[in-house]
Amino acid sequence: MTVENPPVARSNLLWTLTRWREAGIIIFILILATVVSLRASDFLTLGNFRDILLDISILTIVALAQTMVILTHGIDLSVGSGIGLVAMMVAYTIKANPNIPLVVVVLLGMALGAVLGIFNGLIITLGKVPPIIATLGTMSIYRGMVFLYSEGYWIPPYQLPNSFKLLAKGTPLGIPNIIIIAVIVAILVYYFLNYTRTGRDIYAVGSNPVAAQYTGIRTERIIFLVYVLSGIAVGLAGVLWASRFESSQTNTALGFELQTIAASIVGGVSISGGVGTVPGALLGALLLGMINNAVTLVRISPFWEQAAQGLLILMAVVSDNLIMRGMQRNRPK
Amino acid sequence: MKESSVQSAVGPQSVNLISATAPRKSFLARFQRWEWMLVALIVVGIVINSRLTPYFLNAQNLSRTSADFMELGLMMLPMVFIIITGNIDLSVASNLGMCASFMAVLWNLHVDIWIAAPLALALGTLGGLLNGFLVARVKLPALVATLGTYAFFRGVAYVLLGDQAGRGYPPAFTYLGQGKLPGTLIPFSVFLFVVLAVIFGLVLHRTTFGRYLFAIGNNENACIYAGVPVVRVKLIIFTISGFMSALAGMVLAARFGSTRPDIGTGMELSVITAAVLGGVDILGGSGTMPGAVLALVLIGLVRFGMGLKNIEDQVQSIAIGSLLILSILLASAARTISAGGIKPSRQTIILAIVFVVIFAAFFFFFYWSRAPVLAAL
């Protein structure tokens, strides 16, 4: 599935280990699920599973975009602030025009997010500013714009129409909309990364930008594109965030960027680009969501939540790193 | 002349490449440095600030506000080292929180503050050592390793202190963050920072260790082959970073007079911003300590001036973020122009117009959509 798979390696250790990287997360998830369900009987119920999915839907959408960015050896630190800004602008717009159709709201959010992404992309490709610096800067700028825009006021739940609140939580198909949207996004990104030429180019640019350039891939365009896609995902996430939490505050999604990066990295996406899959990122997001959920159910003090999350990220990246080194040692001659 | 003997020894060709004396810089070239740009910006900042408000050039105000940036500065010093080697430490603010919380817990358990504080410093140093171990030994990318410890250290802070707070520190301790040097208006934390900045600057620019940092940032593999103790150097700088974060935690706790587990949240990005604005290359290999210190002064000036004009903290961050991006954008734009610039083809002109229209539409919407809501408040 990953681009670094040599075609001859089907039967050797390298291939097995490459497969194992996702299997490793699955095993981890299963162990966690078993341990937690021994302590809390309501962990392995359909209702709880639904709750977990509900909690990680927005994370999944943005983590998938973050995965695409990281695949090109970039990073987008501005996603949290971007979500905050889009959520605020959308909430204000709806408050002023309560009868606006939901489709327009979603499209508006995605368009606003896209503009933020275009700005990031231009600074990075045209301005030749390293992604981490560019998005560190826009992270402050977008968060500042939330305050500039709202003048510090927030939109409480009663000021938003019910139809908008149901956008995320409504269940016309039996499952909350937000989960369906996340699944659709996942399928689209999976198809895009694996079966389209541009998607493959993203892997190529991340694996070896010079070689990609020589093979005729317009690396600048690909890099620009992933930031715009990230912006669109941020826009969608912003609308869903305002709808799910029925409000918009100035600190919406503060620190969220690090969660999306953590989900990608735990899911086996390499920070140095070119390596990572959609199922991996999904499992990473699922694992983070399960930990948050488990901490609550097992009645550990919620103060342990972040420490557990941090420890888990460390364990995941260290084990992943050891596996990678093992792979390099056993590389077929 | 010495040059002739060199010439006979290594042949004429190498002399053309390596001259025996340092190349003489023209008077103007000496001023084309980022540090002077920062100095100019600082002067502009001072002039604008003193025009805008009469409260700016006030010794009391300046003294109080300078202390506000010292924790940031203390963490920035080792961050300069780390970024010069091409690494990064995202965990500094979390480490600060962990150590301050640890000290608060000990203090709440009635441990003497002069035992609690050194223990907290030791904990921070251990945290830094963990980062160093993950980066230098396990060979994780620094961004990943310190992202993990970023979450972990902050988590430990919450586990330690929970919903409690540490408060009521003795005056001898709060002197660290609130006190002034006797008989002057200079805050003790500023004095501490200046002394440490001089030491860090000398280590960076005047010692072999400092040269190693630049060498590792430029070409780590070459350093390994050249016998530079890369692993040890990395371990040392991350450990120092841990210690300095803990020290910053002590100063911050002393300045606030209380500690909560979320103390210093988000400061890591300000620290990195200061270093990068100071001309330290985020990709490693170049940067100066005076530049970083000047950038800290500039950030302080901008924030202080805007604060005096009652501009919220978060809106000030727009200015800091823009400054950060512009500092690198302008440098690369200058390089593009000197390399011949972008040839304006029809396609680029159309694209430029499209982008301008998009951003104009965004800002139109930005102001248009907020008006009715704010009017109704």
Please give the share of chain A, as a percent, with pLDDT higher than 90.
35
CATH number of B34-334: 1.10.3470
Q: Do B358 and A127 touch (CB under 8 A)?
A: no
Q: Do B366 and A318 touch (CB under 8 A)?
A: no
d(CA B148, CA B138): 14
Query: Please, which residues 253-292 of chain B have a Cβ atom closer than 8 Å to chain A?
Result: 261, 265-266, 269, 272-273, 276, 282-283
B168-174, long-range: CB < 8 A, 24+ apart: B169/B107, B169/B113, B169/B253, B169/B254, B169/B257, B169/B258, B170/B113, B172/B113, B173/B113, B173/B114, B173/B117, B173/B254, B174/B254, B174/B255, B174/B257
Minimal Cα distance from A155: which residue of B?
A: B373
| Span A292-313, average pLDDT | 80
Minimal Cα distance from A250: which residue of B?
A: B314
CA angle B294, B295, B297 (to 5 degrees): 65
B29 band by pLDDT with thresholds 50, 70 and 90: low
CA angle A232, A237, A240 (to 5 degrees): 130
In this structure, CATH architecture of domain A7-329: Orthogonal Bundle (1.10)
ipTM value > 0.85: no
Phi/psi at B286 (5° precision): -150, 160
Both structure tokens of A233:
């995902």
Report yes or no: B332 at the A interface, CB cutoff 8 Å: yes
Q: Do A317 and B276 touch (CB under 8 A)?
A: no
Task: Tell me the pLDDT tens digit for each residue of A81-124.
Answer: 999 999 999 999 988 888 888 899 999 999 999 999 999 999 99
Q: Do B317 and A141 touch (CB under 8 A)?
A: yes
B183 band by pLDDT with thresholds 50, 70 and 90: confident
State the SS3 of B288-319: CHHHHHHHHHHHHHHHHHHHHCCCCHHHHHHH
Q: Do B148 and A313 touch (CB under 8 A)?
A: yes
Please give the share of chain A, as a percent, with pLDDT higher than 70.
91
d(CA A308, CA A289): 12
B126-130, long-range: CB < 8 A, 24+ apart: B126/B242, B127/B91, B127/B95, B127/B98, B127/B99, B127/B153, B127/B242, B127/B245, B127/B246, B128/B95, B128/B238, B128/B239, B128/B240, B128/B241, B128/B242, B128/B243, B128/B245, B129/B235, B129/B238, B129/B239, B129/B242, B130/B242
Query: Please, which residues 122-151 of chain B have a Cβ atom closer than 8 Å to chain A?
Result: 134, 138-141, 143-145, 147-151
Q: Note the pLDDT of residue A154.
A: 84
State whether residue B276 is helix, strand or coil: helix
A2-6, A160-164, B367-371 — which is least confidently predicted? Answer: A2-6
Count Cβ atoms within 10 A of the Cβ of residue B81 and give its class: 0-12 exposed, 13-18 middle, 19 or more buried: buried
A20 band by pLDDT with thresholds 50, 70 and 90: low
A146: amino acid identity, one letter: V
CA angle A184, A186, A190 (to 5 degrees): 120
Q: Do B134 and A152 touch (CB under 8 A)?
A: no
Q: Do A303 and B322 touch (CB under 8 A)?
A: no
Query: Please, which residues 55-94 of chain B have a Cβ atom closer than 8 Å to chain A?
Result: 88
The pLDDT mean for chain B works out to: 86
Chain B CB contacts of A89 under 8 Å are 365-366, 369-370
d(CA B121, CA A303): 23
Query: Chain B closest CA to A175's CA: distance in Å?
Result: 32
Chain B CB contacts of A110 under 8 Å are none
Tally of CB atoms within 10 A around B213: 27
Report CA torsion sign: A33, A36, A39, A41.
negative
Q: Note the pLDDT of residue B6.
A: 42
Q: Do A133 and B322 touch (CB under 8 A)?
A: no
| Span B130-158, average pLDDT | 91
Q: Please give the full DSSP string across B63-122, using - where no structure is assigned.
A: HHHHHTTHHHHHHHHHHHHHHHTT---TTHHHHHHHHHHHHHHHHHTT--HHHHHHHHHH
| Span A38-56, average pLDDT | 85
Check residues A332 and B248 and name the one with the higher pLDDT.
Answer: B248
| Of residues B155, B355, B373, nearest to A95 (C-beta) | B373
Q: Residue B92 CA to chain centroid, in angstroms?
A: 11
Q: Please give the full DSSP string across A278-331, using - where no structure is assigned.
A: HHHHHHHHHHHHHHHHHHHHTT--TTHHHHHHHHHHHHHHHHHHHHHHHHHHT-
Q: Note the pLDDT of residue A328.
A: 67
Q: Which residues contact A175 (CB under 8 A, 6 or more apart)?
A: A50
Q: Note the pLDDT of residue A78.
A: 93
Q: Do B324 and A137 touch (CB under 8 A)?
A: yes
Q: Note the pLDDT of residue B158.
A: 92
Q: Note the pLDDT of residue B73.
A: 95
Q: Note the pLDDT of residue A29.
A: 84
